[in-house]
Structure 1
Amino acid sequence: MARPQKNGLDYFPLDVDIDQDDKIALIEAQHGVIGFAIVIKLLMKIYKNSYFYEWTEKEQLLFSKRINVDINSINVVINDCIKWGLFDSNLLKTKEILTSKGVQARYLEAVGRRTKVEMKKEYLLLDENIVNVYKNLIIVDINSNNEDVSDNINPQSKEKESKEKKSKVNNNKEDSCSSDFNIYRYMQQRGFVTISPLIAEQVQADIDMYSLEEVKQAIDIADNNGKHTYSYVKGILEKRRANGTDGSTRQDTKPSEDKWSQYEFE
């Protein structure tokens, strides 16, 4: 008999400066080290299970007993985690689970060498461009009569459908990097050979925070300076925003020395 497939992780990455992440820092500012510990304990539970942790009455009572913290206090911390974007509000309300885009991206990165990885369609928060990176990923529709993967939710099928749509778009749109796919392709053309799902997630977050044009300009500056890491691009964006500069920033702009952590909790 074949061994049952393992879903959870034995360990997960935890940066030494995790407490410098704004979302974590806000929880610690509000709830002290107890709040910080609750977040870490929840992450341990999530990754031990896989990419989500059920948060029904049963789990709440057991979690409270095991960490010896009142359940009401724990839920106050979780509510603030939702407020600051550490966990997804909609999935907590509708599916009673704790997860986030960042959690799911880090999980896929950790299980990248497994032969097969399943994720439930109803729980999936990641964008299509990130999902399609993983050829071992099977998206399961839990509402169907069986858990076979439907053609219309398979990542490869999604990719084919996406390409067909893109082929109908004016060629000038592709050159202007006006979609997620185009900005990653542009990065590759500028020398950024390896774009992991976590990097893709950060690129999208920065496009939302700054703008597509600002991210593109920062990529140009990094390439012209011979730097092809996204931490360098991130440093340029942060320094330009801090200095209030616009797209006319000189090409010898140096990035911040602060290391961008790829494990942001979004």
Structure 2
Amino acid sequence: MARPRKEGMDYFPHDTDAVNDTKIEALRMLYGNDGYAFYFILLELIYRQPNFELDVSDAETLQILAKKVEVSPEKFSNMMQTAIKRECFDPVAYHERGVLTSEGVKKRSKVVVDKREKMRKKSSNGAENELLPDSCIVSDAETREESTQSKSKSKRKVKEKINKIHYAEFVTLSREEYDKLISSHGEEKTNRMIEILNNYKGSNGKKYKSDYLAILNWVVKRVEEEEQRGERRQSEPFSREQTTANQYNANGSYHSNSNGKPVTNTGYASGARVQPQASGSDKAPSKYNEFVRR
């Protein structure tokens, strides 16, 4: 059964300095954070479209979008006019066809679309080679005089391509490489590594000669850092509870001494009995006290 054809994008690059972009800054200065939300909500919807263009030609769609941005239709219309005027979106496409897009959107999406098409062609060629009869593969080996070293290298490359499996849209591994990752890191951690590499390659158009080596070189460390951050967050509540318990003192039942050990009113400190003192200097110690001293 063929894999469903992917349309649109699940993620897109977001510049960390976007808040200072002059186009976006105009929306923020005029409409506050609503202007910022307006721009990026529409941008997300544009990237999810098959042709990376959002149709806003009818009034009903504009009302729905205003609800999504959580502003009034009047304010949404004003923000739209400002965005078109400042060329946050392509003015020509908006006025002539009633769609929202931009040159930057088209440029970034083209990288992803071209990458997908190339991967599909590779998969298709690999499937065709797998259907060849065994006699076609053996024939070159039988005619050694006609075979050259370059041909044998070419056969090995074809075999390697056939053995690669798509574990994500942009990540390919051989079965042996995937099993090694499972053996070293476990299935859950391996799948997280594949997810991180897939997102990175999809958003940047990055290519690696070996996705397996890329995972070993930097993705493993990224996942380990995530796990360490998670462990620190889990340990913090326990530390606070422990500190509170040491400082607890209810109705004089016990308190902490200078060493942080609880002392009770019965004269115990960390399990050791405190020596009772005589009530007066003229009294002789009782037999009980002498027994305790011994």
What range describes the TM-score normalised by the shorter chain of this pair? Answer: 0.3 to 0.5
Q: Which has the higher contact order (CA 8 A, sep 6+)?
A: 1
Query: What is the TM-score normalised by the length of structure 1?
Result: 0.41
Query: Normalized per residue, which structure has more helix?
Result: 2
Larger radius of gyration: 2
Query: What is the TM-score normalised by the length of structure 2?
Result: 0.37
